[in-house]
Amino acid sequence: MPIRIRRAELSDAAAIADLHVRTWQSTYRGLLPDALLDELDVAARTERWQRILGGASATVGTAGAGGHAGIETDTPTSATVVAVEGERVLGFASAGAARDNDAPCARELWALYVDPIAHGAGVGAELLRTAIGADPAYLWVLEGNNRAIAFYEKHGFRLDGGVESEERGGRMLRDLRMARP
Q: What is the CATH number of the domain that holds 15?
A: 3.40.630.30
Indicate the helix (H) or strand (E) that contains 125. Answer: helix 123-132
Q: Which pLDDT band, with edges at 50, 70 and 90, does 136 fall under?
A: very high
Which residues share a beta bridge with 164? 175
Give the pLDDT confidence of 29-70 residue by residue, as tens digits: 999 999 999 999 999 999 999 999 997 544 444 344 433 434
pLDDT at 147: 96
In this prediction, residue 11 carries a pLDDT of 96
Yes or no: say if 138 and 108 are a contact pair by the CB < 8 Å rule: yes
- Average confidence (pLDDT) over 22-33: 95
Q: Model confidence over 115-135: pLDDT tens digits?
A: 999 999 999 999 999 999 999
pLDDT band at 102 (very low <50, low <70, confident <90, very high): very high
Q: For the chain, how many structural domains are there in total? A: 1
Determine the pLDDT at residue 77: 57
pTM assigned to the model: 0.87
Please provide the DSSP assignment of 78-101 as one string: -EEEEEEETTEEEEEEEEEE---T
* CA pair distance 177, 104, nearest whole angstrom: 10
Q: Which residues constitute the domain of residue 95?
A: 3-180
How many Cα atoms sit within 13 Å of 49 on the Cβ side? 26
CA distance 60 to 94: 8
The Cα 23–Cα 106 span in angstroms is: 27
